[in-house]
Amino acid sequence: MRHLYDGVPDILAEIETRAPDTSDHLAETARIVDLHHPRRLALTVAEVIVETPTTRTFRLRRADGEDLPPFLAGQYVGVFTDGTSRPLAISSSPARLDHYDLTVRRVPGGRISNHLIDTLAAGDQVTTTGPMGTFHHNPLFHGEDVVFLAGGSGVAPAMSMIRDIVDHGLDRRFHLLYGSRDEQDIIFRDELDRIAAGRPRIRIDHVIGDLLTAGTIRDLAGPLEGRMVYVCGPQALYPYALEQLTALGHARRRVRFEANGAPARPEEQAHWPAGVDPVEEVIVTAGGRSFRSPRGRPLLDALEDHGIRPEAACRSGECSLCRVRVVKGRVHTAEEARLRLSDERFGYTHSCVAYPLTDLDLDL
């Protein structure tokens, strides 16, 4: 048939005369993907920095000393340890890619943060994800005048954002309102004060032993209109900060919250069914195994308790990597879950913020 078409000899001649493409596309594609988004990073703890009595910074490097993937200040890596993973914000500068600093604070009952502080030492190997997350300055709409409300170790991403401004010479106004329990709990104090001293566009206010009330925010930060407000800290800070900002008339869309983990008390959410006991155990069947787990424990943690490791990163309902299909039974999917519109119809949920209400069959 082809010979009947006009133009065929020209096209055949073009094919004939093309320089052959001899690239190794398999290797080159893998290289480009790994440059930015490696599935895993094998890192070494180069140094453990004592920040405060309860806080350590783990400086991670590649074994070969090569640069790590670029990240946006505010992003996190998932750290795999002790049969589970945690998203930890990078506190170092995005201008310095020879290392990532992860700043971890001891918290009462914080299994993984305490485990890291107690066991991780210089020379140890750590496996992480690549950098991820949407909690970062976005120049397309955040503007160049921003406010950051931090509580405790929630200052880690703010530190990275400030280092970004300094190292890249950005013309951005950054006002950090940093709440700490007491003076000795303040992380990065010297560096923060030193940076702010010579730079009128970077302001640091410490709020010690007190809440970041609407009045405090207004008095320290001034009018918020048009400014982006970032919030990162302990879980309780989020609803509280939103309330204070709302009281000040600040638009919800000008507030960015860092992902803050699965709700510890899902039974307090309005759509938790009445009279269902979160402590009572149900039977979860997944990956060819069945086990008992309390209703109030997120499915992802329950699976990990029993040696099943779905892919996971944010553990806060956002990234969807831990998405699973509920084949039988009913779950409570927390408000935090950012499900796709089609998920509910076909029975999918995000296991990090989903709780088994009945006996369950899951497809991983």
Query: Does residue 65 come out as left (phi exceeding 0), alpha (psi in the -120 to 50 range) or beta?
Result: left
Q: Which stretch binds another protein (CB under 8 A): 31-39, 229-237, 258-266, 275-283?
A: 31-39
Q: Which is nearer to another protein, 45 or 362 (CB)?
A: 362
- 110 with 153: CB under 8 angstroms? no
Interface characters, 322-361, with another protein (x: CB under 8 A): xx--------------xxxxxx-xx-x-------------
CB of 62 to another protein, least distance (A): 13
DSSP state of 63: T
Task: At 151, list the tokens.
Answer: 């509580």
183-212 binders of another protein (CB under 8 A): none
CB of 186 to another protein, least distance (A): 30
CA angle 334, 320, 26 (to 5 degrees): 175
Residue 73 CA to residue 165 CA, distance in Å, equals 10
1 binds another protein (CB under 8 A): yes
Interface characters, 110-149, with another protein (x: CB under 8 A): ------------------------x---xxxx--------
171 binds another protein (CB under 8 A): no
320 binds another protein (CB under 8 A): yes
Looking at residue 243, its amino acid is E
Task: At 211, list the tokens.
Answer: 């809440």
Q: Which is nearer to another protein, 181 or 340 (CB)?
A: 340
Rounded to the nearest 5°, which phi and psi values hold at 269?
-75, 145
Among 42, 47, 70, 183, binds another protein (CB under 8 A): 70
Task: At 250, list the tokens.
Answer: 């600040």
247-266 binders of another protein (CB under 8 A): 253
3-class SS string, 190-205: HHHHHHHHCCCCEEEE
Q: Which stretch binds another protein (CB under 8 A): 15-23, 192-200, 288-296, 351-359?
A: 15-23
Residue 356 CA to residue 267 CA, distance in Å, equals 12
Residue 63 CA to residue 66 CA, distance in Å, equals 8
294 binds another protein (CB under 8 A): no
Q: Which is nearer to another protein, 143 or 294 (CB)?
A: 143
List own/partner pairs for 79-84 with CB under 8 A and 24 or more apart: 79/116, 79/126, 79/127, 79/128, 80/126, 80/127, 80/128, 81/112, 81/115, 81/116, 81/126, 82/111, 82/112, 82/115, 83/304, 83/305, 83/307, 83/309, 84/112, 84/301, 84/304
Interface characters, 270-289, with another protein (x: CB under 8 A): --------------------
Among 60, 311, 332, 352, binds another protein (CB under 8 A): 311
CB of 135 to another protein, least distance (A): 12
CB of 160 to another protein, least distance (A): 13
- 196 with 117: CB under 8 angstroms? no
Q: If DSSP codes are grouped into helix, strand and coil, which group holds residue 152?
A: helix
CB of 281 to another protein, least distance (A): 28
67 binds another protein (CB under 8 A): yes
- 364 with 308: CB under 8 angstroms? yes
Residues pairing with 59 in the sheet: 47, 101
25 binds another protein (CB under 8 A): yes
CB of 180 to another protein, least distance (A): 29
The contact set with another protein (CB under 8 A) reads 1-2, 4-8, 11-12, 14-16, 18, 20-26, 28-29, 32-33, 35-37, 67, 69-70, 72, 94-95, 97, 134, 138-141, 168, 253, 310-311, 318, 320-323, 338-343, 345-346, 348, 363
